[in-house]
Amino acid sequence: MKRKKLSLPILILIGMILGILGGIPFQKNPEFAVNYIKPFGTLFLNLIKMIVVPVVLCSIISGVISMKDIRKVGSVGLKSVSFYLTTTAVAVTLGMIFANVSKVGVGMQYASDSLTFEAVESPSFMETLLNIFPSNAVEPLVSATMLQVIVLALFFGFGIILAGEKGEPLGTLIDSATEVCLQIMGMIIKLSPIGVFALLLPVVAENGPSVLLPLFKLILVIYSAYIFHMLTVFSFTSKVMGKISPMRFFKEMMPAMTMAFSSSSSVGTLPLNIECSQKLGAKKEICSFVLPLGATINMNGTSIYQGVCAIFIANVFGIELSLTQQIMVVLTATLASVGTAGVPGSGVIMLSMVLQSAGLPLEGIALIAGIDRILDMGRTVVNITGDANCAVCISSAEDRKAAKKAARQKAPA
Ligand code: ASP
């Protein structure tokens, strides 16, 4: 009898379980895991990063060209950005409610002299805005500055539409390049079970009970908020706006969620997220536009983390946050999420910006730094699930709009 081949999501799940179990014996001596297993994970992430820029560039250009109408691109773009900012603001607020109710950090003992943290220079709002527009057409591709890559792709897409017949050959070439990039990405994704194993094992090995236990309550509160946000906000929007059952949504998203959990990188998960969202029925042109945008600007998980951490740090230092300060946290966390890339650890940089604006001590970050990777894994899952959620909702809304338009045209005058 022919043996049935295991599907990729199952293999990724096996890789993840083996990575977690395999890391436990190394907790006493993590050097081996770090020196000899982690590099394979890094190699896998590097391959993904290698293909991400061509995938984003080509797929956004293809997406724009296939919408054929600059106004439609504008309308989809505006809807996506509004969706992203709204869910992000809800996420920070939810994180703060969870932290306030659970009183996380209250009465925690710490040795104040052991807390030091170098503030990372965070860009101002105007700087963030200016940084979106590149002054050089090649540099963003080389440095993988995703927001700039998106802007470049939009301009090229618009240019091809406006050039009409003369632009068609370039459009065809880009469509072909997109297909080639997606095939390369497919090959790399086949390696994900091994990649996931090699990425997770060292994390478990390095984060033994002595690192985790003192901050167990913080981890628990943050993860509860992540799960609550996904089960309520994403279930509601996928049901009401995306017209698909939440069960199906989460089931199809499993491979991308597993990948996000292991890699802690929204950008690295992008190729798999595009695949999952299309399986959920989101149109290719919408996915290729909305998802790369989301991987760069939409971070629901990161905002939950910021909301909880801000309250946690205030509680540890015995600072009472006024309502104005709490609103400041919501605003800065929402805006800060736009300017930060979907790579491991970028949430901490944003957190220092949020703390600064609310007048909270930056030293508090030193408390969290040790477990940041554990929190990053979960927040990346929420981040990419939010992106896919938006793609599904916008795609379904566009379908309904097109159906209405077609019905109006058919109806006799
Ligand atoms: N790692 C997260 C992501 O890639 C960003 C963060 O650090 O919060 O989405």
CATH number of the domain residue 95 falls in = 1.10.3860.10
Please, which residues have CB within 8 angstroms of residue 230's CB and are 6 or more apart in sequence? 250, 382, 385
Residue having the nearest C-alpha atom to atom 8 of ligand 1: 347
Q: What angle do CA 145, 149, 154 make, to 5 degrees?
A: 155
Q: How many CB atoms lie within 10 A of CB 180?
A: 12
pTM score, whole prediction: 0.85
Identify the pLDDT of residue 3: 61
H/E element, 16: helix 8-23
Identify the pLDDT of residue 336: 75
149 lines ligand 1 (CB under 6 A): no
Locate tokens 């390049």: which residue?
Answer: 177
Identify the pLDDT of residue 196: 84
Which two three-digit tokens encode residue 81? 């950005």
385 lines ligand 1 (CB under 6 A): no
302 lines ligand 1 (CB under 6 A): yes
- CA–centroid distance, 379 to ligand 1, in Å, is 7
Q: 261 lies in a domain? A: yes
342 lines ligand 1 (CB under 6 A): yes
What distance in Å separates the CA atoms of residue 321 and residue 340, rounded to the nearest whole number?
A: 26
Q: 1 lies in a domain? A: no
pLDDT values of the chain reduced to their tens digit, one per residue, 413 residues: 556 677 777 888 898 889 889 989 998 888 999 999 999 989 988 888 888 889 889 988 988 898 888 888 898 999 999 999 999 999 999 999 999 999 998 877 665 555 555 555 556 667 777 888 999 999 999 988 878 888 999 999 999 999 999 999 999 999 999 889 888 988 888 888 898 899 889 888 888 777 677 788 999 999 999 999 999 999 999 999 999 999 999 999 999 999 899 888 888 888 889 989 999 999 988 998 899 889 888 999 999 999 999 999 999 888 888 888 888 888 888 887 776 667 788 888 788 888 888 888 888 888 888 888 889 999 999 999 999 999 999 999 999 988 888 888 877 65
Identify the pLDDT of residue 180: 93
Domain that holds residue 368: 8-410
Q: 87 lies in a domain? A: yes
Sign of CA dihedral 249, 254, 259, 264: positive
Which two three-digit tokens encode residue 53? 């820029």
Nearest atom within ligand 1 for CA of residue 264: 1
Q: 334 lies in a domain? A: yes
Identify the pLDDT of residue 109: 67
Sequence length of the chain is 413
Nearest atom within ligand 1 for CA of residue 383: 9
Locate tokens 């724009």: which residue?
Answer: 64
What distance in Å separates the CA atoms of residue 410 and residue 413, rounded to the nearest whole number?
A: 9
Locate tokens 């083996």: which residue?
Answer: 18
Q: 28 lies in a domain? A: yes
Q: 3 lies in a domain? A: no
Q: 259 lies in a domain? A: yes
Q: 137 lies in a domain? A: yes
Please, which residues have CB within 8 angstroms of residue 171's CB and are 6 or more apart in sequence? 65, 160
379 lines ligand 1 (CB under 6 A): yes
What distance in Å separates the CA atoms of residue 226 and residue 236, rounded to the nearest whole number?
A: 15
CB 262 within 8 A of CB 301: no
Identify the pLDDT of residue 354: 87
269 lines ligand 1 (CB under 6 A): no
CA distances from 207 to 24, 80, 320, 381 (A): 9, 37, 31, 19
What is the number of structural domains in the chain? Answer: 1
- CA–centroid distance, 346 to ligand 1, in Å, is 6
What distance in Å separates the CA atoms of residue 145 and residue 129, rounded to the nearest whole number?
A: 14
